[in-house]
Amino acid sequence: MTRYRCALVSALLALITLATFAAPPAARAADAPRVLLIATGGTISNRNGGRLTAQELAQAIPALGRYARAETEQFTNVASSEVTLAQWLQLARHINEVCQRDPGLAGIVVTSGTDTLEELAYYLDLTVRDARPVVVVGSMRNPSTLGYEGAANLLEGFRVAADPASRNKGVLVVLNDEINSAREVTKTDALRLETFQSRGYGLLGVVDPDRVVYYRDVVKRHTAKSEFDLAGVAALPRVDILLVYQGAPGDLVKAAVDGGAKGIVIGAAGAGAIAPDQVAGLQYAASKGVVVVVATRTGSGRIAAEQMPPPEAAAPAGGAASASEEGRRWNVVAAEDLTPLKARILLMLALTRTTDRAEIQRMFTEY
Pair type for strands 178-181 and 172-175? antiparallel
CA distances from 85 to 111, 180, 348 (A): 17, 24, 11
**Which residue out of 43, 114, 296, 339 is catalytically annotated?**
43
Diameter of the chain by CA atoms?
A: 99
CA 181, 183, 189: angle at the middle one, nearest 5? 80
43 catalytic? Reply is yes
> What is the C-alpha to C-alpha distance for residues 74 and 278, in angstroms, rounded to an integer?
44
User: Which stretches does DSSP call E strand in the chain?
Assistant: 34-41, 69-78, 107-111, 134-137, 172-175, 178-181, 186-187, 196-197, 205-207, 212-214, 239-243, 263-268, 273-274, 291-296, 321-322, 332-334
> What is the C-alpha to C-alpha distance for residues 167 and 314, in angstroms, rounded to an integer?
49
CA 130, 131, 136: angle at the middle one, nearest 5? 85
CA 124 from centre of chain: 7
Whether the CA torsion 162, 167, 171, 172 is positive or negative: it is negative
Mind telling me the catalytic residues? 43
